[in-house]
Amino acid sequence: MSDIIQLLPDHVANQIAAGEVVQRPASVVKELLENAIDAGATSITLLLKDAGKTLVQVIDNGKGMSTTDARLCFERHATSKIKDAKDLFNLNTKGFRGEALASIAAIAHVELKTRQHNEEVGTAIKIEGSSVISQDVVSTAKGTSLAVKNLFYNIPARRNFLKSDTVETRHIIDEFQRVAMAHPDIAFQLHHNGNEVYHLKESNLRKRIVAIFGNKMNEKLVPLDEQTDIMKIRGFVAKPSYAKKKRGEQFFFVNDRFIKSSYLNHAVNSAFDGLLENGYHPTYFIYFDVPPNTIDINIHPTKTEVKFDNEKALYAILRATVKHSLGQYSVAPVLDFNRDATLDTPYTFKDKPAVSTPKIIVDPDFNPFKNEQISSPAPVTQKREAIPSSSPAQKTSSFKTDYKKDAGSWESLYVNTYESTQQEKLFESEKETETGKTFQIQKKYILSTIKSGVVLIHQSLAHQRVLYEEFLTNITIKDANSQQLLFPINISFSSSDIEMIFSIKSDLESAGFVFNEFTKESVVIGGIPTSISESQISLILEQLLDDLKLEVPDASFSHYDVMAKSFAKSLAIKTGTILSVKEQETLVNNLFSCKEPSVSPLGKPTFKTLTLQEIDNIFSN
């Protein structure tokens, strides 16, 4: 029998490796940015076209490469970062495997231009699918420029799996933000299709975070700073009042490398116990400086997961650090037994006498009915006859006499009238309830009777279905109506969110929004759909951005669908809302008028039917 095991050709092996290293354009961006940082660059520019599918180019002013290094860097496992296995446990650089450029060159058209600082000319190399097309001597700027064009051109199946430009751009911006926040001492620029998205100057950590997420972030931040024998913790957490329902702005960095850790996230959440509403998550930017030999970053291909030698100690220190900072800056309530109580009194009031209690003066002879004589209780529906005028003394005397004589009858008339009125209202409401066909249960479900039994409806999910189909009809079929705002609203967003809103501007205008102006950090809205109120604009747009950041398949219908789902989710009645009988019946009727009443826009069931047979079976056992 012949041998069946054989060595794979290099270009096939590189394509297989690319499946692990390069998942999408954002993976290329991450690898190239990290290489530029390892090269000692102080200024890095990222250029994109079509969300990186057509072009990803990184230009840096690092130390550059020699002619030999420029050719060798595209070989597998060729690296300048490590020399033996021991170096894996003492890493101070971003990349170290030597697989990134070889994998990228196997699935794209790559153009490299590089020159060292002490050289007068540089090297230019062109590679297509692992094959070197040309290598020339060129005049180029100091540093390195690497352009990756037509990603996955030779693997159409992989290219078809890429998401829409909006989603892929979101992933690229996420990677760019993580690298930029880890290195505030490096200047970064990001251009997409000729538009400048970020221009980050060299600065400190706080200014870098504010430059990325907008000026409003500055007032939210609470600094962290803790030095221990095993680590140093620095960074910021956001005040509890600015917590969000989404976990978007949560960043951990270990030795200036972004990581993900549910274990450390739990430590931060536990530090916020009692300060956040249920379902809300804190925002944080936390940096750990630990000895390189105490962590292992080689446990995941993307190097976003790290294994610590002393996880429990790190958990306790992180939790205590966050708690201490929240208390130190008066964000969380604390008990301070060393506080001088006299300092609580303002100095201007310290020596003033105590405020005297005001006196209450009552006039026992005051009579509000001194111009009216009451002789006997008259029916409520009849007018009393006018009493002849007399002197004030006679009026007062007569009032006192008549009041004493008829007090009992007046009181009984008032009490009896009140009780009878309340009883009538009570019986009326009971009759209303008995005749109603729906009942609200625990402010969450609606129970309605049908011929075959009963139906239990989830009020929030049912309302989402009703609103979803209504919005979808208005956006795609009907001409959306817009109401102009007397005073346009200015809403602040981060630069990446502004870019995303601008990319779906036409879709939002089809839904009824009117945009007056776009700036780098805000959007001016002059008109909104008639179905939403002015106070809901910010909530709806934030919800829409969160939904768009998810991986929605690219289709001509997708943006409208996501918008309709976001609008419905934001505006639907919530659990805990009390509905009148009329509102309950209207919701039930609208639900069963929908095309798909059985499921919510997100696929959850809206109601459950119980037949009489099923109900009988419950009690027969």
Q: What is the pLDDT of residue 80?
A: 61
Work out the pLDDT band at 71, boundaries 50, 70, 90.
Answer: confident
Q: What is the pLDDT of residue 253?
A: 92
Instruction: Taking residues 451-455, report their average pLDDT.
Output: 84
Q: What is the pLDDT of residue 411?
A: 47
Buried b (16+ CB within 10 A) or exposed e, 482-514: beeeeeebeebbbbbbbbbbebbeebbebbbbb
467 contacts 598 by C-beta, under 8 angstroms: no
Work out the pLDDT band at 164, boundaries 50, 70, 90.
Answer: confident
Quick check: 163 pLDDT over 50? yes
Quick check: 88 pLDDT over 80? no
Q: Please state, in angstroms and rounded to a whole number, the distance separating the CA atoms of residues 498 and 617.
A: 57
Q: Please state, in angstroms and rounded to a whole number, the distance separating the CA atoms of residues 505 and 555.
A: 17
Q: Please state, in angstroms and rounded to a whole number, the distance separating the CA atoms of residues 293 and 308.
A: 10
Structure tokens at 397: 């005397």
Q: CA 310 → CA 187, 251, 316, 534, distances in Å? A: 34, 20, 10, 51
| Mean pLDDT comparison of 205-209, 507-511, 579-583, highest-scoring range | 205-209
Mention every residue, 6+ apart, whose C-beta is less than 8 A from residue 595: 469
Q: What is the pLDDT of residue 109?
A: 93
Quick check: 254 pLDDT over 50? yes
Instruction: Taking residues 467-491, report their average pLDDT.
Output: 79
Continuous segment of H or E residues that includes residue 395: helix 392-435
Q: Helix, strand, or coil here: 158?
A: helix
Q: What is the pLDDT of residue 334?
A: 53
* Report field, pTM of the whole predicted structure over 0.75: no
Q: For tokens 């990319």, name the residue.
A: 503
Q: Please state, in angstroms and rounded to a whole number, the distance separating the CA atoms of residues 207 and 188.
A: 13
Quick check: 392 pLDDT over 90? no
Cα 551 from chain centroid (whole Å): 15
Instruction: Taking residues 7-22, report their average pLDDT.
Output: 66
Q: CA 210 → CA 200, 203, 204, 396, 501, distances in Å? A: 10, 11, 10, 76, 20
Work out the pLDDT band at 7, boundaries 50, 70, 90.
Answer: confident
Work out the pLDDT band at 386, boundaries 50, 70, 90.
Answer: very low
Q: What is the pLDDT of residue 335?
A: 54
Quick check: 111 pLDDT over 70? yes
Q: Please state, in angstroms and rounded to a whole number, the distance separating the CA atoms of residues 225 and 285.
A: 12
Quick check: 447 pLDDT over 60? yes
Q: What is the pLDDT of residue 29?
A: 93
575 contacts 460 by C-beta, under 8 angstroms: yes
Q: What is the pLDDT of residue 443?
A: 86
Structure tokens at 455: 């139906």
Segments making up each domain of the chain, as ranges: 10-202, 206-328, 365-435, 447-608
Give the β-pairing of 187-192 and 195-200.
Answer: antiparallel
| Mean pLDDT comparison of 103-107, 267-271, 340-344, highest-scoring range | 267-271
Q: Please state, in angstroms and rounded to a whole number, the distance separating the CA atoms of residues 470 and 490.
A: 27
Domain 447-608: assigned CATH number? 3.30.1370.100
Work out the pLDDT band at 126, boundaries 50, 70, 90.
Answer: very high
Structure tokens at 360: 């209450």
* Residue predicted with more confidence, 351 or 112: 112
Instruction: Taking residues 311-331, report their average pLDDT.
Output: 85
Structure tokens at 250: 């949560």
Q: Please state, in angstroms and rounded to a whole number, the distance separating the CA atoms of residues 209 and 214.
A: 8
CA nearest 183: which of 277, 62, 88, 4?
62
Instruction: Taking residues 412-435, report their average pLDDT.
Output: 46
Q: Please state, in angstroms and rounded to a whole number, the distance separating the CA atoms of residues 546 and 490.
A: 20
* Residue predicted with more confidence, 89 or 266: 266
Quick check: 180 pLDDT over 90? yes
Work out the pLDDT band at 337, boundaries 50, 70, 90.
Answer: low
* Residue predicted with more confidence, 247 or 243: 243
Topology, domain 10-202: Heat Shock Protein 90 (3.30.565)
217 contacts 297 by C-beta, under 8 angstroms: no
Work out the pLDDT band at 487, boundaries 50, 70, 90.
Answer: confident
Work out the pLDDT band at 95, boundaries 50, 70, 90.
Answer: low
Instruction: Taking residues 580-604, report their average pLDDT.
Output: 88
Instruction: Taking residues 375-398, report their average pLDDT.
Output: 47
Q: Please state, in angstroms and rounded to a whole number, the distance separating the CA atoms of residues 252 and 240.
A: 18
Q: What is the pLDDT of residue 86?
A: 55
Mention every residue, 6+ apart, whose C-beta is less than 8 A from residue 78: 72, 98, 102
Q: What is the pLDDT of residue 17?
A: 59
Give the β-pairing of 284-289 and 250-254.
Answer: parallel
Q: What is the pLDDT of residue 236?
A: 93
| Mean of the per-residue pLDDT values of the chain | 78
Work out the pLDDT band at 415, boundaries 50, 70, 90.
Answer: very low
Q: What is the pLDDT of residue 91?
A: 59
Instruction: Taking residues 360-380, report their average pLDDT.
Output: 66
Quick check: 218 pLDDT over 50? yes
* Residue predicted with more confidence, 106 or 99: 106
Dihedral sign (CA 422, 428, 429, 430):
positive
Work out the pLDDT band at 330, boundaries 50, 70, 90.
Answer: low
Domain 206-328: assigned CATH number? 3.30.230.10
What percent of the chain lies above the pLDDT cut of 90? 19
Q: What is the pLDDT of residue 149?
A: 93
Half-sphere exposure of 534 (CA within 13 A, CB side): 12
N- to C-terminal Cα separation, the chain? 68
Quick check: 371 pLDDT over 80? no
- Name which of 88-97, 150-159, 358-367, 604-613 the model is least confident about: 88-97
Q: What is the pLDDT of residue 389?
A: 45
- Name which of 49-58, 63-72, 81-90, 367-376 the model is least confident about: 81-90
* Residue predicted with more confidence, 550 or 312: 312
* Residue predicted with more confidence, 217 or 335: 217
